[in-house]
Structure 1
């Protein structure tokens, strides 16, 4: 029977897939065998490792090595390069503030004499008044009596003008001046005193005028009310200039200076920008929010700013010239910052850098990069995973021979359990039991559980690591809570140490659900 061509082609494909699977299995077995021969490690869950005799070394940075990516792969995974540039760095400090009255432009209207309100001309809160505008009239027995005294002093002085006694004329002038000064201290204006002198008629109800222009923000008087000396009747605020007080983060306080120009936008008037300046920096920091209050002054000729409004404040601060790269070119592991520098022919070198301030979409590089060097800005997580993987493989190839242990070698019996079992993605409870070769519990040790998942370049996923520290509870039992980042297969290492010396470890594989 003659086999058809499509069927033959299908059998050839199945055969090819089988061959690839066999080769992959053989390679994986070889890698596992190589790892099993490394000192102080095992791959099987059932084999505990022997203790290490030398002291534990301080935690080092994650090993990385250069990687070569051909142009086609760069295009597929999205690797892009940008030249580091030297630029004049301008940093923006943004914050939200509240419009407030300029305290130096708020006037309190009160009386220095007791009396009764006869007429009330400004009779509601929010009314706009001008300087010198009549506010109310007041009947005051004390004020009326002083007017009579003033008029009597004026009459006496007129009579003394023809006196031959100079002292009498001087004494009359002094009495007139004293009475006039007393009325002036009670807030009678110069025009009112002049009218009183010309008409020689006392005013039973004296008109009081506004000492300042602005809006009435408080009104505490009614027509016919009895008022006392010192009582506040009105509060008038001049809104031609306003303050905006905003909280600046403690880390940005050093950028703020008195007299700096600021720009404000208001949600009520989109698209409009207003210019002002810094007039005061409070001398203390809010301990709860870790912010420093800053006061800005803005002209308000058009009346746009209304006290109580929220305002978006922006300060443009020159930070000098420096080297900058795009922020997405920097990988921050928490312990170090890495940038991949293109050296040509598809080779990328991982380089540690010292990062300064964030400047919009760019970041300042204080040390590690020179102007003009090309840095990778796309798929940097893939480059980092590839770099760490190759560094790990190089480490396996160059692994040193096992060092002789100080003293007799011992075997540790280490078991690890989780709740739930198997562990889930998220928070889990872990319990380890540690015993020596004689089955005696080991209580005075430091036990850590390390989780590792290799990078998956095809998914653009970097390698993942986490660590859980277990605390002794007695009887060789150690417990703790830790987080498994995602579901999947994890390589787990349980390490036991005492006084800085590693006693032993155990490796296993778990599959988180």
Structure 2
């Protein structure tokens, strides 16, 4: 019996020893795993602690900043790691971007500079006939065409060249009467008769010839009043012509037009009377000078260009209609404040440049731009020489600004400042209400996805608001539907009342 009791006690002792060893091994394994994986977070709170002193609000993908995550890791959308959003990354009036993220995504900057710019522009041009210098010979009286010079459109003739000969039968009687009166020796009657011949359309040369020779001439010769290009011949042999009928159209070649299509943005470079320089591909190495004679008042709706016309001398007729040329306008030098063209973001209503406050901190600045000069853009207002502006990677800055509501707060501040100039500010006038869904609650700040605010011309968007008092967010959780009241504060807008909307209530 004693032997059985000893065996039982030994078995119990072995069981107790085994349980103790197993418990110790389990404790040692748990401690080892915890030491090997201390950084494995399971909540945003744990993640906040692991980052040290800087408190993390959430993690996000820089390419899709509207998507937020409660722990770090790899983005499900892009082949890149999620980036932490810190509580102190929301500067007043600006936007913050982690410098390492900015470097990874290729954010580049440039310096605002003043440059002496030779303000000139070279544009394609075409040589045209000078339509101001046109001659149209006409028949002075009715008659019959006896002969026409061998002319065709495109011929070049000199001044005084014969166009046509016209037989005028009624001239015969008038000339015979003039000769008879002249033989009487009465100077008064002779002068009156001579004047009558001129009024019938006879040239002075013909009247003097009749008076000198005493012979009747009934054939009128029509000559070109000026030399140039024959564009049209309107008379043929055997035709009957009436008084004032046009016989030909002749355009002078002593000067030509050079016409260019000037982009609308550079219209200020063209002024009537300004000197221009013209180079023609037909005569390489040579340049001709002329003056702007007209800037046509109509813009081409399809190409958004203005027609600029310059007069150019044409000695020897070397310049021919239809030739291609290059016209250079301007040439004056003046100092201008410039930035790279890609630094300016045009929204349709305004132009914005992101200025570097310090590494990782940027501020949107509205600018007024002037002329576009190659890869530079003139800045008339908004910037100072020496400032650094962002020239690439603006998509990242824009996304951050959208998340932090920087542009909306800036636009609202401008609107409030403008209204304050005309009327005194009152607290009641600056208070607004809207419905929203809570996205995140963090200390003295709440992020809301709110509806449009017509009074401020805000669209529906996600925006972070500081709380007037931290107790306002007591009991509010992400996902809650709330009604919030906010007003303008010193550094933007702050929430003064926050109330949860019961389920089934209006959003």
Greater mean alpha carbon deviation, residues 83-92 or residues 379-388: 379-388
Aligned Cα RMSD in Å?
5.5
Per the alignment, residue 400 of structure 1 pairs with 445
Match runs of 1:41-52 below 5 Å: none
Mark the CA change 1:99 to 1:324 in structure 2 (over 3 Å): closer, same or farther: same
How far residue 104 of structure 1 moved from its aligned partner, in angstroms, is 3.0
Per the alignment, residue 368 of structure 1 pairs with 382
1:258 and 2:272 aligned: yes
Per the alignment, residue 210 of structure 2 pairs with 196
Q: Which of the pair has more CA radius of gyration? A: 2
1:69 and 2:69 aligned: no
Question: Is contact 2:178–2:190 with CA below 8 Å preserved after alignment?
Answer: no
Match runs of 1:258-277 below 5 Å: 258-264=272-278, 274-277=288-291
Per the alignment, residue 294 of structure 2 pairs with 280
Distance in 1, Cα, partners of 2:37 & 2:284: 68
How far residue 99 of structure 1 moved from its aligned partner, in angstroms, is 5.1
Match runs of 1:52-451 below 5 Å: 64-67=94-97, 69=99, 74=103, 78-89=106-117, 91=119, 100-156=128-184, 160=185, 168=186, 170-175=187-192, 177-179=194-196, 181-182=198-199, 185-186=201-202, 188=203, 190=205, 192-244=206-258, 256-264=270-278, 274-281=288-295, 294-301=308-315, 303=317, 305-307=319-321, 315-316=329-330, 320-334=334-348, 337-342=351-356, 346-347=359-360, 349-360=362-373, 361-382=375-396, 384-385=398-399, 397=442, 400=445
How far residue 354 of structure 1 moved from its aligned partner, in angstroms, is 0.7
Distance in 2, Cα, partners of 1:270 & 1:385: 52
Mark the CA change 1:81 to 1:285 in structure 2 (over 3 Å): closer, same or farther: closer
Question: Is contact 2:142–2:243 with CA below 8 Å preserved after alignment?
Answer: yes
Mark the CA change 1:387 to 1:302 in structure 2 (over 3 Å): closer, same or farther: farther
How far residue 212 of structure 1 moved from its aligned partner, in angstroms, is 1.0
Mark the CA change 1:105 to 1:449 in structure 2 (over 3 Å): closer, same or farther: closer
3-state SS of 2:315 partner? coil
CA offset digits 1:271-306 (Å, max 9, x no partner): 775533222345677889887665432333354655
Distance in 2, Cα, partners of 1:351 & 1:43: 24
How far residue 221 of structure 1 moved from its aligned partner, in angstroms, is 1.0
Question: Is contact 1:90–1:320 with CA below 8 Å preserved after alignment?
Answer: yes
Distance in 2, Cα, partners of 1:258 & 1:336: 32
Question: Is contact 1:108–1:236 with CA below 8 Å preserved after alignment?
Answer: yes
Distance in 2, Cα, partners of 1:106 & 1:302: 18
How far residue 97 of structure 1 moved from its aligned partner, in angstroms, is 6.6
Mark the CA change 1:314 to 1:19 in structure 2 (over 3 Å): closer, same or farther: farther
Question: Is contact 1:101–1:239 with CA below 8 Å preserved after alignment?
Answer: yes
3-state SS of 1:243 partner? strand
CA offset digits 1:146-175 (Å, max 9, x no partner): 33334334433xxx3xxxxxxx3x324424
Distance in 1, Cα, partners of 2:499 & 2:256: 70
3-state SS of 1:370 partner? coil
Question: Is contact 2:139–2:222 with CA below 8 Å preserved after alignment?
Answer: no
**How many aligned positions are there?**
370
How far residue 207 of structure 1 moved from its aligned partner, in angstroms, is 2.6
Mark the CA change 1:79 to 1:222 in structure 2 (over 3 Å): closer, same or farther: same
Question: Is contact 1:91–1:359 with CA below 8 Å preserved after alignment?
Answer: no
Mark the CA change 1:366 to 1:281 in structure 2 (over 3 Å): closer, same or farther: closer
3-state SS of 1:141 partner? coil
How far residue 352 of structure 1 moved from its aligned partner, in angstroms, is 0.7
Match runs of 1:444-459 below 5 Å: none
Mark the CA change 1:502 to 1:177 in structure 2 (over 3 Å): closer, same or farther: farther
Distance in 2, Cα, partners of 1:242 & 1:397: 76
Mark the CA change 1:347 to 1:30 in structure 2 (over 3 Å): closer, same or farther: closer
CA offset digits 1:78-105 (Å, max 9, x no partner): 5544332212455556777765543331
Match runs of 1:459-474 below 5 Å: none
How far residue 141 of structure 1 moved from its aligned partner, in angstroms, is 0.3
How far residue 245 of structure 1 moved from its aligned partner, in angstroms, is 5.6
Mark the CA change 1:28 to 1:175 in structure 2 (over 3 Å): closer, same or farther: farther
Distance in 2, Cα, partners of 1:503 & 1:256: 63
Structure-2-length-normalised TM-score: 0.55
Distance in 1, Cα, partners of 2:124 & 2:348: 30
Structure-1-length-normalised TM-score: 0.55
Distance in 1, Cα, partners of 2:172 & 2:443: 108
Greater mean alpha carbon deviation, residues 302-311 or residues 78-87: 302-311
